[in-house]
Amino acid sequence: MIVGLFPQLLGAGGIPRSGCLIALALTSFAEQHDERCRFISLGDPVGAGSLKTGARELRFTGCGGSKSSFVSAVLGLAIRQPSIAVALHPDQAPVLHAMKILAPGMRSAVVVHGVEVWTPLPAVQRWSVQSADRVLAPSGYTLALVTKEQYLPLGKGRKLAWSLGPEFDPHRTPCAASSTPDGFPRGRIILTVGRWEASEAYKGVDHLIMALPTLLKLFPAVHLVAAGEGTDLPRLQSLAVESGVSDHVHFLPFIAREELPNAYDHCEVFAMPSRGEGFGLVFIEAMARGKPVIGGAHGGTPEIIDDGTNGYLVQYGDVPQLADRLQRLLSDDSRRREMGSQAFAKAGRAFTFARLSSELDIILSELSD
């Protein structure tokens, strides 16, 4: 049996979406090796749950946010002596270590994402991450930092870059003929997608808002669409009013996964000038729809965006630079199309689910040997 421990599978944002990718890949690996999968999710509703991803239906047990129920369910599976267990967040590493006490022959892996491991973890959590057989990171940048800051033994870390989900066909040419997503304004759209939490105010949405007054002088029909929710929304909404651009900033709820391709199709540029992305799934999703992307020249983003080729990298907080790069793309249709074409090509070359699944197969096979 192969066990997956998830913070959440049904939620929006990069961690639940990457969790679904890993769950799909684990299911495929298990089928090839005549194993069963059991998935336990801390944050999803209590009881049996399911999630349709592409043509597959993922089944899992939700714990309703109860840590005691989560630990009980996980240790109940450990007694059955699983062969492999994968924790999809370092917060769950201590539970993974407890599983290994009950199942000494079990091999384990912890998946890390980004900022949560860029500085030292609390002692117990750090020790639990160190004790895993493999630690998987989505970018070389995060792999290097988790190795340094968590004092990983040499050779324990592996890079496993995220991929496009089944809803994104990297070989299907994008089409702008689909219906406009609910809430999208008419005009020229700059799109950003994410979790707008006060604890994650490094995403750069505020800088996009601050760049709008400059852009509106040249492009009166430009609008910023920010899809997502979180505790930072009141601050961002106030900033839009204070900047005099509230009529051109549109805060929309999270867009359902199956509708995301349609949202990207109806923007001209995707931008998230963040300083804290361990990877940035939204970048490759926009690229798969043929859109040029703008991101922060920090973290794992430079491993996705080739500056000046498929988009632009900007320094976090440099609003004039951000406005300049947006202006370049909005003012030059040929440049925008060429960068979008390069983005589409890279997404189909480097970020397919087949690549992710194959790389995870190799890692899991190493653990099984």
Q: Sorting pLDDT into bands at 50, 70 and 90, what band is 174?
A: low
Measured distance CA(97)–CA(38) in Å, rounded? 17
Task: Identify whether 362 is part of a domain.
Answer: yes
Query: What number is the average pLDDT over the span 92-98?
Result: 97
**Whole domain around residue 216: which residue ranges?**
188-350
Task: Identify whether 173 is part of a domain.
Answer: no
Percent of the chain with pLDDT strictly greater than 90: 86
Q: Residues 345, 358: one domain? A: no
Q: Residues 15, 153: one domain? A: yes
Task: Identify whether 171 is part of a domain.
Answer: no
Q: Residues 332, 359: one domain? A: no
Q: Residues 99, 232: one domain? A: no
| pLDDT for res 12 | 81
Q: What is the pLDDT of residues 316-359, one digit of tens each?
A: 999 999 999 999 999 999 999 999 999 999 999 999 999 999 99
pLDDT(75) > 80: yes
pLDDT(222) > 80: yes
Q: Residues 302, 317: one domain? A: yes
Q: What is the pLDDT of residues 135-171, one digit of tens each?
A: 999 999 999 999 999 999 988 999 999 999 887 766 6
Q: Residues 277, 361: one domain? A: no
| pLDDT for res 168 | 77
For the chain, the residue count is 369
Task: Identify whether 10 is part of a domain.
Answer: yes
Q: Residues 147, 241: one domain? A: no
Task: Identify whether 336 is part of a domain.
Answer: yes
Q: Residues 268, 357: one domain? A: no
Q: Residues 327, 357: one domain? A: no
Least confident range of 176-190, 213-227, 233-247: 176-190
pTM for this structure? Answer: 0.93
Tell the burial category of 179 from Cβ atoms under 10 Å away from its Cβ (0-12, 13-18, 19+): exposed
Task: Identify whether 170 is part of a domain.
Answer: no
Measured distance CA(34)–CA(45) in Å, rounded? 29
CATH of the domain at 244: 3.40.50.2000
Percent of the chain with pLDDT strictly greater than 70: 97
* CA distances (Å), origin 174, targets 168, 287, 318: 10, 10, 31
Q: Residues 343, 360: one domain? A: no
| pLDDT for res 58 | 92
Number of domains in the chain: 2
pLDDT(54) > 80: no
